[in-house]
Structure 1
Amino acid sequence: MSKDQELRRAAFEEVEKHQDLVEADPYRLHYHIMPPVGLLNDPNGWIQWNGTYHLFYQWMPFKTGHGAKFWGHYSSEDLVNWTHEDIALTPSEWFEKNGCYSGSAIEHNGELYAFYTGNVKDEKGNRESYQCLAVSEDGIHFDKKGPVVHLPEGYTAHFRDPKVWKQDGSYFMVVGAQTEDLKGAVALLQSEDLHEWTHVGVLAGGGEGPLGDFGYMFECPDLFNLGGEDVLVFSPQGLDSEGMKYQNVYQAGYVVGAFDSQNGRYEHRAFYELDHGFDFYAPQTTEDEHGRRILFGWMSVPDQDEQNHPTVNHHWLHNMTLPREMKLVDGRVYQTPVSELEELREDSVVERRLELDHETHEVEGVNGKAVELKLEDINIYEGWFALEIGGSARLVYSSEQRIFTMERESYVDGVVEKRQTEVASLNDLHIFIDTSSVEVFVNGGAHVFTARFYPAPNNESIQFTASDKTTLTLKKWDLRKVF
């Protein structure tokens, strides 16, 4: 039996061994992508190919910690119902023995080309990294071609997460990197055939320009055109907090500018976070057949009290965000849940016009563990408005301070913690609650907050509170279980 076959069998046995324990977890999600067992992190190879959506993901099936990652694989025809496919990649070869790390996928000559980072460490922890290629005829089974990019000069071995696309007759690759002087950077490479690659240089960061001294490592870069401009998404590590910004241990965000494919230069403006909540990292996007730019993110952050999540006791950890459509509005990225998610709705809508004044209010029929809420035509005449979920997460808007706040009870010590951003006025909220996760889209997706939270399993309450007069229109749907 080959090493690849051994790893596949061992992963399958791990799923079978822990299936009952995993499914018994009250915090198991209803409609978010999760691992069948073990740990899930970065979205990989996210693409629509031959009419089918393929989402690969970093997977450690043997424990809820990190290690020599596999590429797990989900597929879908509609972004709502997902099939867990056979393992796409196992860390079975010398150039990936410590993990098939993150990467991307592209169609070429009717086949699916997957690019990923092969991670190698020696007994002393010294790292080597290779950008590798695997090719598939059916989108399920992959033939590994081995390394196609070795480490260019000027970078440490922290060189990973290749994202590949075609533009102006050539293929380009951006790679998350750290320069030898320990500056975060995005490296740019170019190819004519997807096999032979030339290092063009540093595209962003690396000690030069607006991102010159912006953390010590950039992960998961993704460069694409959106609304006539070129958006670079990446996840910087090593930023110091600035007021309400950069409150998580690592960030995920974007810059907007213009990419010149002829000389490999990228001029861009300021960095913005994509999500202001507690749990969002390593996003990846693709353009589908409808021309939509769709994003998946990992609903967590590396190295941030991961083993304190209560799901660890049920031998699984982490999940993806919902798929989000991205648009560029006045130079800023807006994110909204894809329209297909309306297919999750069960029964009829509960619709109410609320008038709050110095009170906490519960609405009949507005509760549950898997719920979609729309709050529209919000008018906060004075003071603040709040919405509490399951007694352990709270959304607050202060009309005087013009600040939107997400609060939750910490799963580490129970202390209330918060994330915030400035919002000039609160017009509408679109909220998805899923047992132990919440995603909040503010003002048509101009701001987004994402978090895991862990209410008492029997607490399905949703409460509305205002310090002064507040009116709004409320719509609520129960959402069906997919997983």
Structure 2
Amino acid sequence: MLDRNNELKELAIKEIEMHRETVERDPYRPAFHLMPPVGLLNDPNGFIQWKGTYHVFFQWMPFKTEHGAKFWGHYTSKDLVNWELAPIALTPGDWYDKNGCYSGSAVVHDNKMKLFYTGNVKDENGNRETYQCVAESEDGIHFDKKGVVVELPEGYTPHFRDPKVWKHLDKWYMVIGTQDLSEEGRIVLYESSDLREWTFKGDVTASGQEPIGDLGYMWECPDLFELDGKDILLFSPQGLEGNGYLYQNVYQTGYLSGELDYASGKMSHGAFTELDRGFEFYAPQTTLDENGRRLVIGWMGVPEQGEEHHPTIAHKWIHILTIPRELHYEGNQLFQRPAAELEAMRHSDITKNVSLSNERKEWSELNGAVYELLVQLNKVEETFSVTIRNNATMTYDATKSVLTFKRKSFVNGEEETRSCLIESVNELRFYVDSSSIEVFVNDGKEVFTSRFFPEEYNESLVFEADGHSTFQVTKWLLK
């Protein structure tokens, strides 16, 4: 099927060239986030650093702004700031992946980069088959498919996908997201000595088990790693019911922390915790880089959550990835912090010390569309808020210990909110791009990740206090 793979690559390249100017003219095109060159982007895949170069692959549909038979697009970077689009890594051109090269991961072995991914196959009636496949490369750019390494075991539906592979001691391990025949979500584990022959070890954990209880009908994009003395299982469950401030998106992302018994393949763990409090965050993937940091990048989107209403569709593209973040486990909780390299984007700064009492304030020199903003709160008597481009507002209500992100819906223009309980707020760090906001609260204890689509020429930044608030604000322009 080499000819079919090459044909698909050529068609995708033509699609990029055909719509390049349309994509680049979009005022919502990001300044520093990864986006598709054309078409639809979703899950980050194969996040890895090899020989000093970071690689981020991504689920990609080049021919439309809807989901379909996915390719693997590919970006590379030396510094996590400046990224280059690399040649297409995988195309859905073989019998075992003809309906999509679905999500997966990358490892390095025998001086080759190996991509593990799910091959999606559907018959004429829409019945699904699923295969875990591998491709390899000697240069990290050009990949040769090597076929199927894992087929569907008994006891699971064909919703069996997204392999994440890593090495522990002298063995390789693979976790896969799936559902059992009762349509309950779970994660399974495989073991291998050579990355070719894989032994099924069973469920790592599953919906219905204590202490997590009912946790949905499908678990996607698992990632299992050790961090600061704990084993962390990161995944995206589908089918959770909203519960107060929790689980308000169509699908969620979160983690379990505990200990994996590699001999039995079982994980002992605590309760499920959401990783992000915003509107768009899904399918994150981590890597351990050459500096020993656990980095994570997520998809700034959620499946089936208003995708057809994104205004960027008019410019032939949809969706972006988050900035790269460093993960830490502190006080029984995951913290996310912007990768230190992002500080290199700063090229000018303004700092103000401010006291507000029952008033709104806007300073023209703080306005803008692309920037990093640090707000260090010394005192909040009642409520404090920051409104960005008259479209999105972050508010802390000290009387209720509630932090709320509010935006104008791009579906119907109405206000919508996401909130979390937090005892106090002393720091808000905003990364604001042309159509996205990422807010890191209290040095990454909580994070709100969201898209927003303000009016093109509104670059206002407004601060407001009910009662008395004192704070210092620093803004950096980003390049």
For normalisation by structure 2, the TM-score amounts to 0.99
Instruction: Confirm or deny: 8 A CA contact 1:204 1:212 kept in the other structure.
Output: no
Give the deviation of 1:103 after TM superposition.
Answer: 0.1
Look up the match of 1:80.
Answer: 81
Gaps of 5+ in 1: none
Amino acid at match of 1:458: Y
- Whether the 8 Å contact between 1:204 and 1:211 is mirrored in structure 2 is no
One-letter code aligned to 2:264: N
User: How far has the Cα of 1:364 moved from its partner?
Assistant: 3.7
CA distance in 1, matches of 2:151, 2:310: 37
Alpha-carbon separation, structure 2, partners of 1:105 and 1:13: 27
2:350 aligns with: 350
Tell me how far 1:263 sits from its aligned partner: 1.8
Alignment of 1:259-338 (within 5 A): 259-338=260-339
Task: List per-residue Cα deviations over 1:231-261 (Å, max 9, x = no partner).
Answer: 0000000000110000000000001000111
1-structure distance, mates of 2:125, 2:303: 22
Following TM superposition, by how much is the alpha carbon of 1:213 offset from its aligned partner in structure 2, in angstroms?
Answer: 2.5
> What is residue 115 of structure 1 aligned with on the other side?
116
Matched, 1:371 2:376: no
Q: Alpha carbon RMSD of aligned pairs, Å? A: 0.9
Give the secondary-structure state (helix, strand or coil) at the position aligned to 2:257: strand
Alignment partners' CA distance in 1, 2:382 and 2:192: 57
Counterpart for residue 198 of structure 1: 199
Report what 1:421 is aligned to: 420
**2:461 equivalent in structure 1:** 462
Alignment of 1:19-418 (within 5 A): 19-211=20-212, 213-346=214-347, 348-380=348-380, 382-418=381-417
Look up the match of 2:476.
477
Query: Deviation string for 1:135-184 (max 9, x for gaps)?
Result: 11000111111010000111000000000001021110000001011000
- State whether residues 183 and 212 of structure 1, in contact with CA within 8 Å, keep that contact through their aligned partners in structure 2: no
Q: Which residue of 2 aligns with 1:441?
A: 440
Q: Which amino acid aligns with 2:106?
A: A
Contact 1:179–1:206, Cα closer than 8 Å, also in 2: no
The Cα shift of 1:204 comes to 1.0
Q: Secondary structure at the match of 1:199?
A: strand
Query: Quick one: distance in 1 between partners of 2:156 and 2:142?
Result: 33
Give the match's secondary structure for 2:360: strand
Task: In structure 1, give the amino acid aligned to 2:343.
Answer: E
Residue 311 of structure 1: SS of its match in structure 2? helix
Alpha-carbon distance in 2 for matches of 1:206, 1:393 = 35
What is the aligned length?
Answer: 478
Q: CA deviation at 1:91?
A: 0.3
Moved over 4 A (4+): none
Deviation at 1:50, TM superposition (A): 1.1
The Cα shift of 1:214 comes to 1.0
- Please give the alpha-carbon distance, in whole angstroms, between the structure 1 residues aligned to 2:356 and 2:123: 62
Task: Please give the secondary structure, in 2, of the residue aligned with 1:342.
Answer: helix
TM-score in terms of structure 1 length: 0.98
260-269 or 436-445, which moves further after superposition? 260-269
Tell me the SS of whatever aligns to 1:251: coil
Deviation of the 1:212 alpha carbon: 5.2
Report if the CA contact (8 A) 2:207-2:216 is conserved.
Answer: no
